A and B are shown apart, each in its own frame.
Chain A
Amino acid sequence: MEERFAGFRELLQRRSGSALPALAYDRGGEKQLLSYAGFAGQAFAREAQYRKDGAGLVLLAAETSPETVVSLFAHILAGQDVLLCDPSLPDELFLQAARMTRAEAAEADPELLELLAPALARPSGRRRGGEGRLIFFTSGTSARSKAAVLTSDAFCRSAWNGQSMLPCREGDVLLSILPLAHVFGFVCSLLWGLGYGACVALGRGRRHFLDDCRYFEPTILPAVPALLEALLRMDALNPGLRTVLIGAAPCTEQTIRAVRAKGISVRFGYGLTETASGLAISTEDDDPFAMALCPDTEAMIEEGEIAVRTPCLMESYFGGENPAVNGKFYTGDLGYLDDRGRLHVTGRKKEMLVLPSGVKIFCPEAERALERLLPGAEAAVVLRGGRPVLLAAGCPAELAEKAVAAYNRTVPRAEQLAGAALHPGPLPRTATGKLKRWMLEENA
């Protein structure tokens, strides 16, 4: 039975006497190590410092580094809530995130701090009695999406779930190159490794995506499909790599086969921001997409939709909205359980496009923005060849193209539209005016 922790303090305390490396990182071209004892010591020392602060909610938008990880743990230990943001977000989204969550302090580079300063609320001194909570945006850290509030206990349970299905050990090196501001990245490329004694190698940033495997020589690599495909294409996977854990978006069977052909085990994880990631993980049998449920997860299919009960579930969305019904959370994903009880995800019920990069686009929101740019016309966002495009009705092609260009300037690169197409006649709608998306996909 794998060890389970009730929160970050317990996790750190259990490992605080270990001289084994918790973090590997690069400093000035030299590989450095920070032991578990050193990591815990720094986190507890920083906790004492943060307890003197008045901030109840801290926006953390620093690049991944040992200092950032220590800081993150210390804020939680000190009872401060932490909103993790990807530091490369557009300025406007940062400001929205800060205002929406009423962040009272921020940790980021000086340029970002200057930008955020006017958006921060006055320190309230409302720290929590126990450990602080983590706040993640549900789709690509966009401030327009919902913010899920999760406890450190939920995250530790999620890491335990993962460990029960796919163990990592002392001696393993887990390469962390996914953004920690995404739940999959946070749990699978940081917390899982730290919880179970692996050395977490902190990637050197986007410029080193392709050579970090050779530099840190990981045994485990959590990745999103687009990243894995790039690593494969550039032959950048290191010989000692034994496991790849894929998450955040669907992966093709071709990619899975190509990685397995290198003697590397490929596992596919399923989870949501609201459930602190880990709900199910694929096994290594014949069907690479059949996933076994994690030990703490109960799943049921209701009218085709996957619903789950899990102790990893968020407390609520920021602001208090709690969509769970009797502890049951409806995922918005379509799927089924096979005769061996394995979960298969077949699509998305809600109006969300999931791109190969793992980035999600909430269609109604994008469509509202596009329709504001196309007065009198109709707009739908659909996937064409795996890429999001505008399907417009009631306007000339030139205007639709211009609307796409204008829209793209307002969203992160990964969410930008690939182009525009015209729909012949009005967009198909239900009697209540909702778009019939399945018809649009066919017409696109």
Chain B
Amino acid sequence: MKREEILQKTIRVIRDCVPELQEQELSEASVVNTDMGMDSMNFILVICRLEALFDVKIPDRQWQKLATLGDVVDAIEKRCRA
């Protein structure tokens, strides 16, 4: 799966889980924390949905290190390739 495709699917999941972000422009540089109106509970929901969608598992301790949307895409892409 191409990186751009992962990014677009990830953005759709985020918008679906966090309705407040429907209108907000999101890019790889977007910071994935409360900056996006995403509290820690929403973040958990997003990651769980992404894991199911892409059939990957990002280790719990890795979650802490995902700072931007690009980091999330990196983590998924790496595991899709594996």
Contacts and interface: CB of A to CB of B under 8 A. Distances in A.
Contacts of B33: 408, 413, 416-418
Interface in B8-30: none
Contact of A206 (B31, B48, B67): B48
Interface residues of A, number: 32
Contacts of A408: 31, 33, 67
Interface stretch (A226-234, A269-277, A321-329): A226-234
Given A388-B34, A409-B67, A416-B34, A209 B44 contact: yes
Contacts of A230: 41-42, 45
Contacts of A419: 35
A207 B48 contact: yes
B41 A413 contact: no
B31 to A, nearest CB: 7
**Residue from B33, B45, B48 having most chain A Cβ neighbours under 10 A:** B33
Given A230-B45, A416-B34, A417-B34, A207 B40 contact: no
Interface string B52-63: 000000001101
Main secondary structure of the interface of B (DSSP, over half): helix
18 contacts: A88-B61, A88-B63, A111-B61, A207-B48, A209-B44, A226-B40, A230-B41, A355-B39, A357-B41, A387-B34, A405-B67, A408-B67, A409-B67, A412-B64, A413-B33, A414-B40, A417-B34, A419-B35
A402 B30 CA distance: 13
Interface of B: 31, 33-35, 39-45, 48, 51, 60-61, 63-64, 67
A184 to B, nearest CB: 16
Contacts of B31: 405, 408
Contacts of B60: 87-88, 205-206
Interface in A333-363: 355-357, 359
Most buried by A among B45, B48, B61: B61
A355 B34 CA distance: 11
Contacts of B43: 413
Nearest to A420: B35
A359 B40 contact: yes
Contacts of A356: 39
Contact of B41 (A87, A205, A229): A229
Contacts of A209: 41, 44
Contacts of A227: 41
